[in-house]
Chains A and B, each alone.
Chain A
Amino acid sequence: MANSLYVGRRARNSFWAALCYAATGFGLLWLALILGALLWKGAGGLSLDVFTKVTAPPGVKGGLLNSIVGSLIVTAIGLALAAPIGILAGTYLAEYGRHSKLSIVIRFVNDILLSAPSIVIGLFVYQFCVVPVGHFSAAAGGFALAIIAAPIIVRTTEDMLGLVPNTLREAASSLGMPRSLVIRNVAYRAVMSGLVTGVLLAVARMAGETAPLIFTALGNSLFSVNLTQPMSSLPLIIYEFARSPYPDQQKLAWTGALIVTVAVLGLSIVARVMAAPKRGER
């Protein structure tokens, strides 16, 4: 009697454990399928032309030069806007206003922005930057990406500064350092790799974003570095070429997808390696 109860419990345990194994296998299977497809379809199209020629109409041999440069420029604009604002706002939350009511509200708002649909951010920037000016521009695209990146940097900066031991701050303050110097010369330095991690994760996120660029940067089939004009970017060209009926363009879409994925996953792996505590520490 007792034995059968035990057998039943063991059986139920194995059943659920098997389901958990299956779930993990399911998750890893998808990762493998997607990465496999990217390598299979994308690697074949990799050639020097991809990096040296601009996108061309169907039938003409083209590359992705304007999209790659566009992606870099738009992401750089986003980074230039988001990094200072994100780090400063994160500093306020962690250092000056750690327990204030305002911080509770801002922390909440930041968390909402962190997971807000990116297409909604795109619509906002369209209303705010594109409609008044009257035309699409790379700058608007960069602004949209900054709104997506800033909350990530705010969050990581605050979390990282929270790890700085208070004794470190007190020691610096007791030497007579003003608060701002304590923050910049002691707290920032103590968690520098963490701050860089946050910024890298934000760059990775920006590099893969498509939805907010559709109605801000728009895309451009010509080479352009003019910030006030529409600009191409890799995700935008993937969106356009993946739905194209021409095999040439489809192939380029897959190559672009491979480049974007390698860049995004590479950045997040670097970020993770930097964030991991080094051997010997702690």
Chain B
Amino acid sequence: MTATAIETMTVEAKAPDRARALGRMRTADSGFRIMTLAAALIVLALLLGVAISLFIGSLPAFKAFGWHFFISDAWSPPKQRFGAGAAIYGTLVTSFIAMLIGVPVGLGIAVFLTELCPPMLRRPIGIAIELLAGIPSIIFGIWGVYYFRPFMQDYLQPLLIHTLGNVPLIGYLFAGPPFGYGLLTASLVLAVMILPFVTAISRDVFETVPPVLKEAAYGVGCTTFEVVGNIVLPYTRVGVIGGVMLALGRALGETMAVTFVIGNAPHIHASILGQGTTISAMIANTFADADPGLFTSSLLAMGFTLFVITFIVLAAARLMLARLEQRG
């Protein structure tokens, strides 16, 4: 009896202490919460900051050239005439050709990994493809210029010129001398860079297909290819398109690998063997020589253009992937 009374007394004596401790804990608790919220808002602020600061920087160029900035391929620092036409053209063409090659190959690897590969090899091959994605773009650049460019100049480009170059209409695409440098070389290097991204995402979305669906199809006697064509691809279509757009975002913004092999000539050629440039290559290559004023502003305007293009592509990709997640 006395023991209980003493206990009650000590508890009462400690009560203010506890209240204080609880108060401290509450402050620390909400402090942590606010810190996490602040960090999350910083992420938001960064994207807004990128958009706003690039827009402000590019205003002088937009004011000086208006809409002609996007279509003109004039590029003359002494005359202070700048146009992003050639760079935008090069960006779109190289990305398009890279997608044309990288997407089917990437999808093929994903199908191989999910349907055909022996389980023993699945992990090593998957990791190898992921390593390809991990190689920094500067490495693709130095490799491209020392090994791939001579290969293009000595073998692939002469071959294309002598075969496809003689075909009416398409021939214009493959006209001109084999420089090695050029839009096609850059496109092929880009294709290799994006294919692991296509593979990684398609493999992930392929794995969301319920095994029951595939087993049912195999059960009625479908071949592997029929299962992929009639079950897996239709089921994952939105996700695959999302992954492809994500890869497109990469291709559009890729800088270092392209700068090394594209030739960096701000002109528009009909031939994909011709030397050209892309927005990112142009910025990387000329920024150091740019004097402040219209020149720098034009480069910032090109950066802003690239940002807007990739933003649209990436936003579409994310919306598509989100739609797939909702269903799954």
Contacts and interface: CB of A to CB of B under 8 A. Distances in A.
A208 B283 CA distance: 19
Nearest to B22: A178
A201 to B, nearest CB: 9
Nearest to A123: B303
Interface string B88-132: 000000000000000011111101110111000000010111111
Interface in B132-172: 132, 134-143, 145-147
Nearest to B305: A120
Interface in A70-125: 84-89, 91-93, 95-97, 102-103, 105-106, 108-113, 115-121, 123-124
Interface string A228-259: 00000001001100110000000001100100
A118 B280 CA distance: 9
B225 A21 contact: no
B87 interface: no
A151 B43 contact: yes
B142 A253 contact: yes
B269 interface: no
Contacts of A135: none
A207 B135 CA distance: 11
Nearest to A84: B39
B216 interface: no
Contacts of B137: 208, 210-211
A264 interface: yes
A133 interface: no
A119 B280 contact: yes
Contact of B42 (A85, A105, A211): A85
A106 B40 contact: yes
A31 B196 CA distance: 11
Interface residues of B, number: 90
A41 interface: yes
A208 B314 CA distance: 22
A120 B276 CA distance: 20
A127 B307 CA distance: 15
B287 interface: yes
A272 B145 CA distance: 31
A109 B43 contact: yes
Contact of A13 (B112, B143, B199, B226): B226
A54 B283 CA distance: 28
B73 interface: no
Contact of B116 (A21, A89, A127): A21
Contacts of B146: 37, 41, 242
B47 A265 contact: no
A261 B136 contact: yes
A154 B46 CA distance: 13
B255 interface: yes
B43 A154 contact: yes
A19 interface: yes
Interface stretch (B4-12, B28-36, B64-72, B179-187): B28-36
Contacts of A261: 135-136, 139
A71 to B, nearest CB: 11
Contacts of B115: 20
B298 interface: no
Contacts of A178: 25-26, 28-29
Contact of A30 (B33, B192, B288, B300): B192
Nearest to A261: B139
Contacts of A215: 287-288
Contacts of A112: 47, 311, 314-315, 318
Given A20-B108, A38-B143, A180 B28 contact: yes
A241 to B, nearest CB: 9
B82 interface: no
A270 B284 CA distance: 32
A23 B53 contact: no
Contact of A117 (B107, B226, B228, B310): B310
Nearest to A214: B284
A128 B260 CA distance: 28
A23 B28 contact: no
**Minimum-distance CB pairs A-B, first 3:** A117-B253, A208-B136, A23-B108
Interface of A: 9-10, 12-13, 15-17, 19-24, 26-28, 30-31, 33-34, 37-38, 41, 84-89, 91-93, 95-97, 102-103, 105-106, 108-113, 115-121, 123-124, 127-128, 147, 150-151, 154, 178-181, 183-184, 204, 207-211, 214-215, 235, 238-239, 242-243, 253-254, 257, 260-261, 264-265, 268-269, 272
21 contacts: A15-B225, A17-B224, A21-B116, A24-B108, A27-B128, A27-B195, A34-B135, A34-B139, A34-B143, A86-B39, A106-B41, A109-B43, A116-B310, A127-B53, A180-B31, A210-B255, A214-B287, A242-B260, A257-B142, A261-B136, A269-B131
Given A27-B128, A111-B318, A116-B47, 11 more contacts: A17-B225, A27-B105, A118-B255, A119-B255, A121-B50, A124-B49, A178-B25, A179-B29, A181-B29, A260-B136, A264-B135
Interface of B: 25-26, 28-29, 31-33, 35-44, 46-47, 49-50, 53-54, 56-57, 104-109, 111-113, 115-117, 125, 127-132, 134-143, 145-147, 192, 195-196, 199, 223-226, 228, 246, 249-250, 252-256, 260, 280, 283-284, 287-288, 299-300, 303, 306-307, 310-311, 314-315, 318
